Amino acid sequence: MPSGRSRPLGLHDHWLVRCPKLQTVTSRAAPGSYGSCKMKILTIFLVSVVLTTVNGCPDGCTCQHNSLSCHWLSKQNYADLLKDLTHSSIDSLHVVSTADFSIEDLPTLASLSQLTIENCSTPDPWLVQRNRFPNVRKLRIIHSNITSIARSLVLAFPMLEELDLGYNQIFSLGSDSIHLPRVKKLSLNNNRIEVLGVHILRYMPQLLELDLSSNMLTKLVTSDFSSASTLRILRINRNQIKTIECDTSTQMPAIESLDLSFNELSEMPGDGLRDMEQIVRLNLSFNPINAIPHAALRLPNLQVLDLSNTLARVVEAGAFSYLPHLHTLHLQNNKLLLAISALAFQNNSIVFSMDISNTALRIIPAAMFNYVSRVDNKKIGGTRFDCGCILESLEDMGTTTMVDWDSAICVTRKGAIQKISELTRSSLTPEDTCRPDLFIPQNSIQTAYVGDTYHIHCLSNLDDVEMSWKTPKNLTLHSFPPQLASPLPRLDYFTSSLFEPASVEKVINRTKATTEYFGIDVVLGFDNGTYECTSRKDGMSASKRIHLIVKKPDIVLNATHVGVTSVHLAWNKNLHVQAVDKVALQVVTYSGSDFKREVQLSLFNMYCSYNLINLSPDKEYKICLEMGSLA
């Protein structure tokens, strides 16, 4: 041992002490007898333990019980540490900010169960000896510039259950499967991962929790997780996800918690999540979602939904009607949220808690509280309601709802602020009476694309009003409340409605006028123009105009495979067509001067992402959208 350093002592150190032979067991032990010797042995043993605790810890390290933590080790300290570890029986080892550190330098540590390497710029551990760490359950290598996951990890750590490789430089997980048969928790947060391999989780049969937050993923492809049949928790927040592609019919069947916050989703990912029947918690906060439409999600077991801090301007009728077990809803800090439909929770079980603080809401429909049982003061503050209209809602509100209005405020017509808890008829002037008014959540000039499904929103601030719409062709249409869509999945498609019209039981009109929006199932060029919505009640009326600009879409064809004799193209990836029974993709093939072939391809796709065209070389193709005559 180097001078000045104490060898760590353990329970197996041997001390030789000679004692006089025991003379009698009945008489008091005299000085120097066996009883006194036993005390000496105990004293020596205690001294050895004290020396181990005080002086036995390697330089640059701290020791506590069977744990060893080392920081900023010099080369000499690092070399001494490796020597001390050779015969060590420690349970936990933590090495921080040590230059030239490598897992390969560590000796076999049979009793080690936790190993943490932090800020060591360690090279990728590819050549670690088999069974070097036979009992390690938890391995953390963070802030260490690792660029890949070593396939040899399972050899060196055969009992590994938790792996944390966060805060590194991993940019790809490759296409090969990672064999970690016992791992239950895998953390890959704060790396540079752009793409996941389709089979990357195939050999993790016990994986329960996966953290991919703070990476560079631009899309969520559910088939990447289909082999992880036991996955319960997925954190994929703080990425750059714009789309969700569910190109498999059995994606993530066991998922219970999904965090998609802080991404770039502009629409509710309804179809992308439709088969996650076991999901209980869903976080979509901090996404640029612009609306929460009808039947936005169909998740039978969802209990907690976070839609806070989005760009949503409106919550449509039936938005949460297919979430029968929804318990808690977060809508706070949606600064642009102007309207929540009174029918948003229709057919829903009672929502226990809803947060609508710090929104642009001016009113709350009284009928909405038939489905919401609690809104406390912390979840309604910061929203400035219209004093006259909120007073009417309070008078019409049922007694089953518990609302704490202590921190809630409203604004009078003259701009005065009042506490809603102190609001009475006598505290308002006649001009504060709630009169018919209309909210246009989006701008008065809006843009839609041919083939899209589009809603022009116009909502009244009063219940039980008469609404009508005037179209660009000067047709006046009486409005009806929005109808809930069928809970059954759509299996119809364009080719059946086009070629087998007798099999279509009910033809749905292309347009519909409702008390909340003018809906267009399939936008066409002649839908361009000015729409006017009008509300009437008790001899009073209000009108608003919205100008719709219709543009032609760019049909993006992405090459997914280029072969010798054909090219595979993904063709409807960028289209927002929901009326799959009315619209198809028309492909016209030209081969030579006299041959022409026309094919209609259905937009229906059971995998809800995109379809493929197999094109042959040396031919000219014309591709466009086509609408059936039944529309």
Residues 420-468: tens digit of each pLDDT: 888 888 889 999 988 889 989 999 999 999 888 899 999 998 888 899 9
- Averaged pLDDT for residues 569-580: 66
- Averaged pLDDT for residues 575-600: 68
Residue 514 reports pLDDT greater than 90: yes
Tell me the C-alpha distance between 619 and 592, whole Å.
Answer: 8
Region of 65 (left: φ > 0; alpha: ψ -120 to 50; beta: rest) is left
Give the pLDDT band (50/70/90) at residue 605. low
- Averaged pLDDT for residues 249-270: 89
Amino acid 602: pLDDT: 60
Q: Which of 82-96, 248-262, 579-593 has the highest mean pLDDT?
A: 82-96
The 10 Å CB-count burial string (b at 16+, else e) for 77-109 is bbebbeebbeebebebbbbbebeebebeebeeb
- For 27-184, where are the E strands, in sequence order? 61-64, 67-71, 92-96, 114-118, 138-142, 162-164
Q: What is the token pair recorded at 14?
A: 């041997």
- Averaged pLDDT for residues 258-267: 97
Amino acid 392: pLDDT: 84
CA 30 to chain centre: 77
Which of 374, 221, 358 is closest to 285 using CA atoms?
Answer: 358
Say if CB 93 and CB 112 are below 8 A apart: yes
- In sign, the C-alpha dihedral spanning 140, 144, 147, 150 is negative
Q: Which of 3-7, 188-192, 246-250 has the highest mean pLDDT?
A: 188-192
Residue 496 reports pLDDT greater than 60: no
Mean pLDDT lowest among 191-195, 271-275, 456-460 = 271-275
Amino acid 601: pLDDT: 62
Tell me the C-alpha distance between 77 and 80, whole Å.
Answer: 5
Which of 241, 583, 597, 220 is closest to 571 using CA atoms?
Answer: 583
In sequence order, what are the residues at sequence separation of 6 or more whose Cβ sits closer than 8 angstroms to the Cβ of residue 205?
A: 181, 229, 230
Residue type, 276: M
Mean pLDDT lowest among 141-155, 274-288, 474-488, 550-564 = 550-564
User: How many other CB atoms are there within 10 angstroms of residue 6's CB atom?
Assistant: 13
Residue recorded with tokens 């609302």: 403
Which of 319, 322, 343, 349 is closest to 331 using CA atoms?
Answer: 319
Amino acid 571: pLDDT: 60
Write down the mean pLDDT value for the chain.
Answer: 80
Give the pLDDT band (50/70/90) at residue 542. very high
Q: What is the token pair recorded at 469?
A: 């719409």
Q: What is the token pair recorded at 554?
A: 């760019």
Amino acid 346: pLDDT: 84
Give the pLDDT band (50/70/90) at residue 398. low
Amino acid 113: pLDDT: 97
Q: What is the token pair recorded at 610?
A: 């995109």
Residue type, 24: T
Q: What is the token pair recorded at 34?
A: 């066996």
Give the pLDDT band (50/70/90) at residue 6. very low
Amino acid 597: pLDDT: 64
Mean pLDDT lowest among 259-268, 304-313, 404-413 = 404-413
Residue 475 reports pLDDT greater than 50: yes
Residue 551 reports pLDDT greater than 90: yes
Mean pLDDT lowest among 82-86, 214-218, 531-535 = 82-86
Residue recorded with tokens 């009108």: 543
3-state helix, strand, coil in the chain (%, to 5): 15, 25, 60
